[in-house]
């Protein structure tokens, strides 16, 4: 009985953390009314926000659990039609526990302008190689998602042509940080390009800076910063 209660409590914490991540990304303008974030929930399953749920007013009741075919395991609402993005990444990347599909303004602007996103701020060193998926499409079927997952490979982030981006992480916090850093870098790259050719970090600088910045307490700092922007009435969570 105690074990079952603890499992339920852990699941509720995971759902609340997922809700927090989605609401923080929405508040930061990185997710809009169509974005989604998932968390691996066991063998062949993941939690994700329901398609019909308002991203700006999300609650744990809006989190559903589905299998890799999109079939409901828990909940009574349909997952986003692009659930395939998450499923195909989880199939290929056993170390990935969280996936964020975002609709960030500046990253998308650069892809529309056919400009490759390059590492121009220190935080970009955390991202590693920034991949790009060239097709303009809603990734709402397994075949397209498989192509996108193949293009992502073992990278942490990928942009979707004229559409958005995908960020992954070994934890929910990592995926959140990668999504935020990608958009912060894209915004500064765009702004700098209005003045001159942006200075790009060298591979040597990326190696040194990435090692310094890829630390859990710094990821926690970013999470806490954005968490502090949520309404004070939101319940506290354990991240």
pLDDT, one tens digit per residue, over 114-169 is 999 999 999 999 999 999 999 999 999 999 999 999 999 999 999 999 999 999 99
What is the band of 236 on the pLDDT scale with cuts at 50, 70, 90? very low
234 within a domain of the structure (yes/no): no
Tens of pLDDT, residues 33-83: 999 999 999 899 999 999 999 999 999 999 999 999 999 999 999 999 999
The pLDDT of residue 181: 98
61 within a domain of the structure (yes/no): yes
We report the CATH number of the domain holding residue 145 as 3.40.225.10
Return the ∠ at Cα 97 (arms to 95 and 103), rounded to 5°: 120
SS3 for the chain is CHHHHHHHHHHHHHHHHHHHHHHHHHHCCCCCCCCEEEEEEECCEEEEECCCCCHHHCCHHHEEEEECCCCEEECCCCCCCCHHHHHHHHHHCCCCCEEEEECCHHHHHHHHCCCCCCCCCHHHHHCCCEEEECCCCCCCCHHHHHHHHHHHCCCCEEEECCCEEEEEECCHHHHHHHHHHHHHHHHHHHHHHCCCCCCCCCHHHHHHHHHHHCCHHHHHHHHHHHHCCCCCCCCCCCC
233 within a domain of the structure (yes/no): no
Tens of pLDDT, residues 98-122: 999 999 999 999 999 999 999 999 9
235 within a domain of the structure (yes/no): no
| Residue span of the structural domain in which 131 resides | 2-227
161 within a domain of the structure (yes/no): yes
1 pLDDT exceeds 80? no
- Report the mean per-residue pLDDT for the chain: 94
232 within a domain of the structure (yes/no): no
What is the band of 9 on the pLDDT scale with cuts at 50, 70, 90? confident
128 within a domain of the structure (yes/no): yes
Within 8 A by CB and 6+ apart from 16, the residues are 60, 235, 237
Q: CB under 8 Å, gap of 24 or more: what pairs does 198-207 form?
A: 198/118, 198/120, 199/120, 200/118, 200/119, 200/120, 201/119, 201/120, 201/122, 201/124, 201/125, 205/125, 206/119, 206/124, 206/125, 207/125
- Quote the CA–CA distance of 150 and 79 in Å, as a whole number: 23
How many domains, the chain?
A: 1
The pLDDT of residue 235: 45
237 within a domain of the structure (yes/no): no
């Amino acid at each position: 009985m105690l074990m079952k209660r603890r499992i339920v409590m852990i699941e509720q914490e995971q759902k609340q953390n997922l809700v927090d991540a989605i609401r923080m990304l929405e508040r930061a303008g990185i997710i809009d009314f169509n974005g989604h974030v998932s968390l691996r929930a066991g063998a062949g399953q993941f939690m994700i926000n329901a398609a019909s749920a308002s991203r700006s007013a999300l609650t744990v009741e809006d989190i559903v659990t589905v299998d890799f075919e999109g079939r409901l395991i828990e909940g009574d609402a349909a997952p986003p039609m692009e659930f395939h993005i998450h499923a195909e990444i989880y199939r290929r990347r056993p170390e990935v526990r969280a996936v964020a599909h975002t609709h960030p303004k500046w990253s998308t602007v650069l892809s529309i302008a056919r400009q490759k996103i390059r590492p121009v701020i220190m935080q970009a060193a955390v991202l590693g190689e920034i991949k790009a998926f060239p097709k303009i499409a809603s990734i709402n079927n397994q075949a397209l998602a498989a192509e996108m997952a193949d293009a992502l490979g073992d990278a942490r982030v990928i942009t979707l042509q004229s559409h958005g981006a995908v960020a992954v992480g070994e934890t929910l916090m990592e995926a959140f940080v990668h999504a935020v850093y990608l958009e912060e870098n894209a915004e500064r790259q765009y702004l700098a390009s209005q003045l001159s050719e942006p200075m790009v970090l060298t591979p040597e600088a990326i190696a040194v800076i990435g090692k310094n910045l890829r630390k859990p307490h710094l990821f926690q700092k970013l999470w806490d910063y954005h968490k502090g922007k949520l309404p004070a009435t939101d319940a506290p969570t354990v991240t």
